Amino acid sequence: MIAEPIAKKQVECFHCGEDCVEELIRYDDKNFCCQGCKAVYELFLDTDLQEVYANRKVFRENSHKYEYLNNPGIESKLLDFQSESHNKVKLFLPAVHCSSCIYVLENLHRLEEGVIKVTLNFIKKEADIHYDPRRLSLEKVAELLASIGYPPKFSTESTEKKQSSTDHLSIKIGIAAFCFGNIMLLSFPEYLGFEDALDEVFGRFFSWINILLAIPVVLYSGRDYFISAWKGLAKKFINIDVPIALGILVLFSRSSYEVLSHTGPGYFDSLAGLVFFLLIGKWFQSKTYQSLSFERDYRSYFPLAVLKETGNGPVSTPIQDLVPGDTIMIRNEEIIPADAILLNGEAKIDYSFVTGEADAVTVLPNEVVYAGGRQMGERLTLKLTRKSSHSYLTGLWNNQVFKTERQGYSELLVNKISKHFTLVVISLATIAALYWLFYDKAEAWQVFTAVLIVACPCALALSAPFTNGNSLRILGRNKFYLKKANIAEYLAAIDTLVFDKTGTITEAGKGRAHYRGEALEEWEKAVVAQMTSNSIHPLSKKIHSLYQQEKEVGLDRFTEKTGKGLHANYEGHQVRLGSGRWLGVGSHDGVDGRVYLEIDGNLKGCFEISSHYREGLRDLVAKLKKNVDLFVLSGDNDKEREDLKKIFGPQVEMRFEQSPEDKLKFIEKLRNEGRKVMMLGDGLNDAGALKQSDVGIAVTDDIAAFSPACDGILLGDELDRLYDFIQYTKKAKRIIIASFMISFAYNLVGVTLAVCAMLTPIAAAILMPVSSISVVIFTTLSGNLQARRQKLL
């Protein structure tokens, strides 16, 4: 059965029920608004997805339209990632229409074997498409999408679609304003009490004109409320637009009845004013929210940096300062900030952040290395070919691989209230209208509409996002960077805090390494220097400082084993540098906690590392102990137990010789006891524990050590302010509660006035957005005031 386009007219889609003025699809004697709805309908008939698009008429028509995508230069600019077996491209698909489109596009791999997976951002209409270039070219991907009704738009002008949305809203406001003004003008005789003096023919004529003016207000300016309400009801869900749509419909119906039955002039001025002020409120809200775009601030403050080669040696440089042509150094487990050319050595790049595949890709000199890859081996030298992107890299931090989908506590409360809010409002409006029908029929319709409009959970729903968003922005300014806004609520709720030792409460840049053992030859020193330069571990940096003047040598092989140490091959020699447990010398000289050096199976000596605890640690611990339970975990032995007791006190439990797995299991045990656990680690040997905790924070002195498993990143210099940060989130939680109370009070007062016929629908329409905006302003100003009191701003 072949589906053919039908003429452009307003038709209801058989599947989703949406009215849409588009080139609709006629299939099986039914109308569909898009290929996605038709495809889902076919699936409901137990038709295989492959057969849904058996006839690809559009595919043949567009067979040469995308031929230009075969140009390697154009293709390389469009692709986010490219390899022999896996390419990734982000495409804008303006034809994406409804939830059915999501289903069809994300099942595209069933239609075409060359497609690996598709992830669709429905709001932005953007699809991340992963495909196998051995089976499918970018041209064929574009043709495939066009063949099923989703032709991609290759344009970097992302503002076009946003501008279109803004223009539509402006036109709706303009039409509502025009009609509202003219309806009021024609209603002046009634306002001034001259309706009895007005000729009956003119009165009816004015009333009919009012009906004609009200029709575009309802059908065009107010259509979004009806569409949203219908979609909710189709899904058996009563959303906030249901009472608004119902109020508009009741006012129009009642007013039309009065005019047609010659019993009154109706309430067309109230109707037009209601829609006009609702749209003005929507516009003003959007402007307010845009001016407080915390997500944008968060991305711009994200502090990723890498080592850039300069005439005076490598210098840590923020990625926003990098430009094409710069030469950078990437060490083991560091993220590559932008597309680049490999200048030397052989790279082993883990692209799992980009593609979701764990296998490392080998890259040879003069080949392209893509942004988002993680180096798994010795240090690389790269030359950038593109400018780095904060949004792309922070997107990796929010990759589905590292997400633990959880809602904030206030968000859960709002969702519970919202489920019943609209139903309660409709019930109250109905009861109030029935009451007034017996006392004053003219007031009944106004009361019914006013109650429906004034009651609004929007202020309630906005309290937490804007308070937490403001917290995220303020903490970011103080070099404490949270992944998501609702992490602030979890931070406020913690009752247990677990410290890792090395690199967390000790400072990587201070403390010294001393070598004890057999004298090392020059080549041995050079190999140790090269091995430690490849690692971002705090102990590696201290050992590297001893031999950083040694000449560079090329290692035949290099690996870093998490929680154990470094292993390298050099001209036939096997060199290992790591913990005594890994090398089997844990009881050497009766002392452990050192970093041992083994060459060709022979123990050469060890590096004794003196720890330097961070400034202000003692005062921080004293403050934290008043509110939370503290624990200390360490991969070293207990030689520093007594020093730590002086800081933490004898009552704090400390566990030593903890492997990464041991740390993870300990966090899991605490959470199973019902504790709200925060873990502070360096993000290197404790990534699993950070992810397992309620709040996992990576404390780092080197922002190049990007740790997607954590919920936040705290610069080491700011660790002594952690207590203040936690206290601020607790105050922010109180602000959320206060804004909830304001929202409840607004609804209580507003509904009471509306029920008592003391509030017109127009006044209700003005108050509804004002309530939301007032809550947003309250949460923002209160958060800023509290931050100033704590000297965070």
What is residue 786's three-state secondary structure?
A: helix
Element (H, E) at 424: helix 409-439
Q: Note the pLDDT of residue 13.
A: 67
Neighbour order of strands in the sheet with 4-5: 4-5, 25-27, 30-32
Residue 208 CB coordination number (10 Å): 12
Q: Note the pLDDT of residue 195.
A: 60
Measure Cα distances from 64 to 146, 355, 615, 724 in Å. 12, 29, 66, 62
Q: Note the pLDDT of residue 121.
A: 73
Q: Note the pLDDT of residue 527.
A: 93
What is residue 609's three-state secondary structure?
A: strand
Residue pair 571/526 in contact (Cβ under 8 Å)? The answer is no
C-alpha to C-alpha distance for 699 and 679, rounded to whole angstroms: 10
C-alpha to C-alpha distance for 137 and 486, rounded to whole angstroms: 41
Q: What is the pLDDT of residues 289-340, one digit of tens each?
A: 455 444 433 333 344 678 888 877 778 787 778 888 999 888 877 778 888 8
Q: What is the pLDDT of residues 195-224, one digit of tens each?
A: 665 667 777 888 899 999 999 999 999 988
Dihedral-angle region of residue 266 (phi above 0 means left; psi in -120 to 50 means alpha; beta otherwise): left
Residue pair 422/237 in contact (Cβ under 8 Å)? The answer is no
pLDDT band at 479 (very low <50, low <70, confident <90, very high): confident
- The listed range with the strongest mean pLDDT (379-388, 535-544, 721-730) is 721-730
Among 67-81, 297-311, 690-704, the minimum mean pLDDT is found in 297-311
Q: What is the pLDDT of residues 138-179, one digit of tens each?
A: 988 988 888 777 888 875 434 444 445 556 788 999 999 999
C-alpha to C-alpha distance for 346 and 348, rounded to whole angstroms: 7
Q: Note the pLDDT of residue 586.
A: 58
Report pTM.
0.64
Q: Which residues pair with 602 in a beta bridge?
A: 599
Q: Note the pLDDT of residue 374.
A: 79
What is residue 153's three-state secondary structure?
A: strand
C-alpha to C-alpha distance for 490 and 677, rounded to whole angstroms: 9
Say whether pLDDT at 546 is over 60: yes
Measure Cα distances from 500 to 495, 510, 663, 700, 714 in Å. 17, 17, 9, 12, 14
Q: Note the pLDDT of residue 621.
A: 95
Summarize the confidence of residues 533-559 as an average pLDDT: 83
Token pair listed for 712: 């936040």
Degrees to nearest 5, angle at CA 634 with 686 and 614: 95
Given 3-state DSSP classes, what are the helix, strand and coil percentages for the chain, each rounded to the nearest 5?
Answer: 50, 20, 30
Among 262-276, 369-383, 415-429, 640-654, the minimum mean pLDDT is found in 415-429
Q: What is the pLDDT of residues 627-645, one digit of tens each?
A: 999 999 987 777 788 889 9
C-alpha to C-alpha distance for 780 and 783, rounded to whole angstroms: 5
Q: Note the pLDDT of residue 722.
A: 95
Strand ranges (E), 253-324: 305-310, 313-318
Token pair listed for 733: 């939680």
pLDDT band at 400 (very low <50, low <70, confident <90, very high): very low
Residue with tokens 């990723």: 304
Exposed, middle or buried, 78 (CB in 10 Å: 0-12/13-18/19+)? middle
Q: Note the pLDDT of residue 315.
A: 81
Residue pair 213/182 in contact (Cβ under 8 Å)? The answer is yes
Q: Note the pLDDT of residue 511.
A: 67
Measure Cα distances from 730 to 179, 223, 234, 350, 724 in Å. 49, 42, 40, 39, 10
Summarize the confidence of residues 742-757 as an average pLDDT: 90
Q: Note the pLDDT of residue 294.
A: 42
Residue 255 CB coordination number (10 Å): 23
Q: What is the pLDDT of residues 332-368, one digit of tens each?
A: 777 788 888 998 777 888 776 666 565 678 888 888 8
Q: Note the pLDDT of residue 212.
A: 94
DSSP string, 331-373: -TTPBP-S-EEE-SS-EEEE-HHHHS--SEEEE-TTSEE-TT-
Element (H, E) at 42: helix 35-44
133 or 40, greater pLDDT? 133
Sequence letter at residue 653: E
Q: Note the pLDDT of residue 409.
A: 61
Q: What is the pLDDT of residues 768-790, one digit of tens each?
A: 777 777 888 898 899 999 999 99
Element (H, E) at 569: strand 565-570
Nearest 10 degrees: Cα torsion 715, 721, 723, 727: -100
Neighbour order of strands in the sheet with 368-369: 313-318, 305-310, 327-330, 380-384, 340-342, 368-369
C-alpha to C-alpha distance for 653 and 643, rounded to whole angstroms: 14
pLDDT band at 411 (very low <50, low <70, confident <90, very high): low
Token pair listed for 373: 């890859």
Q: Which residues contact 141 (CB under 8 A, 6 or more apart)?
A: 89, 115, 129, 131
Short-list 236, 696, 737, 671, CA closest to 464:
737
Residue with tokens 């223009």: 167
Mean pLDDT, the chain, integer: 78
Token pair listed for 498: 């677990």
Token pair listed for 263: 């019993």
164 or 259, greater pLDDT? 259
Residue 371 CB coordination number (10 Å): 22
Q: Note the pLDDT of residue 424.
A: 86
